[in-house]
Amino acid sequence: MQDQDLSFEKAVKSKLKLRLAIIGPSGSGKTYTSLLLASGLSKKIALLDTERGSAKKYADLFKFSVLELENFHPDNFIEAIKSAEAQKFDLLIIDSLSHAWNGHNGALELVDKAAARLKSTSSFAAWREVTPLHNKMIDAILRADLHIIVTMRAKTEYSLEKENEKSVVRKVGMQPIQREGLEYEFDIVGDMDLTSTMVISKTRCPILQQSVIQKPGKELAKTILKWLNSGEPVKKKVVSAGDKRERDRLIKNIKTKMEELNEKNFITVKKLSEFGDKIKDPKATVGMLKFLEKQLLLIDRLDQIKATISQQQRKSFYRKILATNTQDVKALEKELKIMEAA
C-alpha cells in the first residue's frame, strides 16, 4: 500500500488555479480567445506556441511572453511548464496541446517509433512506454502552481441515422485531437465554432452550466475569476519533523543508488536526470520517494543478474521497471525473483 494519510477531513472550497480547455476547429478563434481571457484573469502571461509563431500576430493587442516549441515530446511540455513556474508567470497558455498527441515527437509518433524498435506488430507494448510519458505531462498541467489555459484542435464527428426511411448524416459533436477523454481533466471546457461561439460542455463552475457565449471575453474572465477566488486560501501542508527525516533519508538513498548505477552505465543520463528532478520537487511525498527508491533497487538487482539473462530480456525488463506504477511494483519484484532463481 502506498504511504499516505488516509484520514478524512471536512471539505472546504479553496482558492483555485484555473484549468481551462478551449476546443475548436482551425479558424474558430482559440488563440485570440485564450489571450483575451488570460488578460482578464492575470497580468503576467506566458504562451507556449506550437503553431509556428501564430500567437505573435496578436502581440500588438495583448502583452505576453512566448516560447515557440518545435519538438512536441511530452517532456518538452513538462519543462516549459516548469520554466513558466520558475519565471513566476501568473498564467500559461498552451496553444495547442494537440501537437503533444499528433505532432513531431508527439505521443502517436513515439508509439510508432517504439513499435518499430521493438519489432512488434502490436502497439500494446509501445503504448506501455508512451502512456507514462503522456500521463506525466498531464500531471504536470494539473499540478502546476499557475493558471493554465490549453487549446486543442477539433475534428468534427458525424453519424449516419435513419429518418423517414432515408439515411441522414448528422453532426454529433467535436472531438479534441488528443487522448480520448482528456478534456474531462479540466475544470472548464469550452467548445468553439467558426462563429466564435463558445458552448460550455463541462464545468465545475456552477454559474457556467450549459452556457452559450457569443465571442467570449472579459465578462467570462470576470465570472471565472470570481469563482476561482471564492474559496479559502490554500493551506500549505506542514511537514512534521519525522516526515522531514524520512524524506531526507530517502533522498540520500536515492542519490547514492543513482551514483552507483551511473558508474556502471546501467541507466541512461536522461533517466538519471528525470529521477533527479523528481527528488528535487518539494511536492514529492514520502510515498513517491519510496516508490522511486524501489524502482532504482529493481534496476540494481537487474544489473546484478544481467550475465544470466539475454540482452533482450534485460532491455524488456528495464523498460517495464521505468513504466511501472506503485500498484505494479510487487508484481515486478516477484517476476525478478523468478528470473534470479532461473
How would CATH label the architecture of 19-228? 3-Layer(aba) Sandwich (3.40)
Lowest mean pLDDT among 4-8, 51-55, 178-182, 258-262: 4-8
pLDDT-based confidence at residue 339 (cuts at 50, 70, 90):
confident
Decide if pLDDT at 93 tops 90. yes
Percentage of residues in the chain having pLDDT higher than 70: 92
The residue ranges of every structural domain in the chain are 19-228, 241-341
Q: What is the pLDDT of residue 207?
A: 94
Q: What is the pLDDT of residue 119?
A: 82
Q: What backbone torsions phi and psi does residue 238 show, to the nearest 5 degrees?
A: -80, 125
Overall average pLDDT of the 312-317 stretch:
86
Please write the tens of the pLDDT for every residue from 213-266: 999 999 999 999 999 998 777 665 555 666 788 888 999 999 998 888 888 877
Q: What is the pLDDT of residue 62?
A: 96
Q: What is the pLDDT of residue 172?
A: 53
Task: Say which residue, 100 or 159, is predicted with more confidence.
Answer: 100
Lowest mean pLDDT among 16-20, 249-253, 306-310: 306-310
Q: What is the pLDDT of residue 2?
A: 47
Mean pLDDT, rounded, of the chain: 87
Alpha carbon distance 30, 186 (integer Å): 16
Decide if pLDDT at 199 tops 90. yes
Q: What is the pLDDT of residue 274?
A: 83
Decide if pLDDT at 32 tops 70. yes
Task: Say which residue, 316 or 73, is predicted with more confidence.
Answer: 73
